[in-house]
Amino acid sequence: MNAITPSRQAVPAPVGLLAELTHRCPLRCPYCSNPLELDRRSRELDTQTWQRVLTEAAALGVLHVHLSGGEPTARNDIVEITETCAKLGLYSNLITSGVGGALDKLQALYDVGLDHVQLSVQGVDAANAEKIGGLKNAQPQKMLFAEKVTSLGLPLTLNSVIHRGNIHEVEGFIDLAVKLGAKRLEVAHTQYYGWAYVNRASLMPNKADVDASIRIVEAARERLKGQLVIDLVVPDYYAKYPKACAGGWGRKLMNVTPQGKVLPCHAAETISHLEFWYVTEHSLGDIWANSPAFTAYRGTDWMQEPCRSCDRREKDWGGCRCQALALAGDAAATDPACSLSPLHAKVRALAAEEAAENPPDYVYRTIGSNVRSPLKEEAKL
């Protein structure tokens, strides 16, 4: 492994590490942000390597570790890995589907110091939720899991990814979060990367439903002040300005894949010309400071107009590079989700057109599938 080498520029310390421990998952959500080519179990990092990565993360200044996947409790060593976080003083957040072996391992995770649980819920109505997640009998398991989380006194966040298949349930997600005793609810409109990009025509809601969902959340925030925090992620295609993707490229977050590839955001592999480094060959500090993938779009020097001269350039950092590549054909372009992008009107029109059509069947997330990214074939806007 290489030692840390001096970086070319002052680099802020990362605050968060997304540890994608495995791509195995009992669910098959059609909006999953995992890549189309999922890592197989045989290629996953071993326990000792994850423990070394976590130790390096703590030394770098990382505060939060998101134990994610896939389904992180599918790993036999999830308790050991969580215990390592606790020993290193890292705040651990388990991002889980709540099915499979999750419930069986929860007590042990609590005992070794797990700090927080984020549970995904695909829908409120069980039949709808199980259709979206592609797994029968998942909903009762999730409800039992949530009850156990709160009975242990662990803070619970519910994560609901919103799309045209469940946008009519936003009020229901809020009621469910209150009923389950969650402290926080994420109403996160689908971001169109990974499997969601393949399924965009099935998932894209119309503008009227999006606006209604925003009004419901705003009213509930007032009503439930002090009881439930609701985070709202609006859909990029209908937004005025883009989000600062991952808090800005290479500024706050690192994402380690099951086989140890380190990404600036979970969709970064769609930018195929980038060179990604592995934790098996480099230290985390070296990757953060010097890996070509991290330095490519860090800061503002790489920006084109209109971002280059825009006074929001250090607020949203030009939006999402993966979306710029997907929609504009150039990862260094202004994110077309931005109303200042010359392509924005076409993005809006595309969303409206897809939302008005009959939704095609879901392409479910599957390991070993031969689903190909439409990015290469799609005519750009």
Between 28 and 298, whose beta carbon lies closer to ligand SF4? 28
Between 163 and 282, whose beta carbon lies closer to ligand SF4? 163
Between 48 and 366, whose beta carbon lies closer to ligand SF4? 366
> What secondary structure does DSSP assign to 215-270, as a single string?
HHHHHHHHHTTTT-EEEEE--GGG-SS---GGGSTTTSEEEE-TT-BEESSTTGGG
* Strands 253-256 and 229-233, bridge-based pairing: unpaired
For residue 11, give both structure tokens.
């680099």
Between 102 and 217, whose beta carbon lies closer to ligand SF4? 102
Least distance (Å) between residue 339 CB and ligand SF4: 7
Least distance (Å) between residue 157 CB and ligand SF4: 14
Residue with tokens 């389950």: 180
- Which residues face 278 on adjacent strands? 261
Least distance (Å) between residue 133 CB and ligand SF4: 6
Least distance (Å) between residue 25 CB and ligand SF4: 3
Between 31 and 294, whose beta carbon lies closer to ligand SF4? 31
Between 69 and 250, whose beta carbon lies closer to ligand SF4? 69
Between 132 and 289, whose beta carbon lies closer to ligand SF4? 132
DSSP secondary-structure letter at 308? T
* Whether 216 contacts 160, CB under 8 Å: no
* Strands 91-96 and 64-68, bridge-based pairing: parallel
Least distance (Å) between residue 28 CB and ligand SF4: 6
- Which residues face 188 on adjacent strands? 161, 233
- Residue 255 has phi, psi (to 5 degrees) of -125, 120
Least distance (Å) between residue 337 CB and ligand SF4: 8
DSSP secondary-structure letter at 309? T
CA 58/CA 68 separation, integer angstroms: 18
Least distance (Å) between residue 289 CB and ligand SF4: 25
Angle subtended at Cα 193 by Cα 69 and Cα 279, rounded to the nearest 5 degrees: 45
Least distance (Å) between residue 70 CB and ligand SF4: 5
Least distance (Å) between residue 31 CB and ligand SF4: 7
For residue 245, give both structure tokens.
């993707």
Between 168 and 312, whose beta carbon lies closer to ligand SF4? 312
- Footprint of ligand SF4 on this chain (CB under 6 A)? 25, 27-29, 32, 34, 69-71, 97, 120, 241-242, 306-307, 310, 312-313, 316, 318-319, 334-335, 338, 340, 365
3-state DSSP assignment of residue 135? coil
Angle subtended at Cα 12 by Cα 6 and Cα 18, rounded to the nearest 5 degrees: 105
Angle subtended at Cα 19 by Cα 77 and Cα 302, rounded to the nearest 5 degrees: 165
Between 76 and 339, whose beta carbon lies closer to ligand SF4? 339
CA 270/CA 291 separation, integer angstroms: 17
User: What is the b/e burial string over 169-178, where b = at least 16 CB atoms within 10 angstroms of the residue's CB?
Assistant: bbebbbebbe
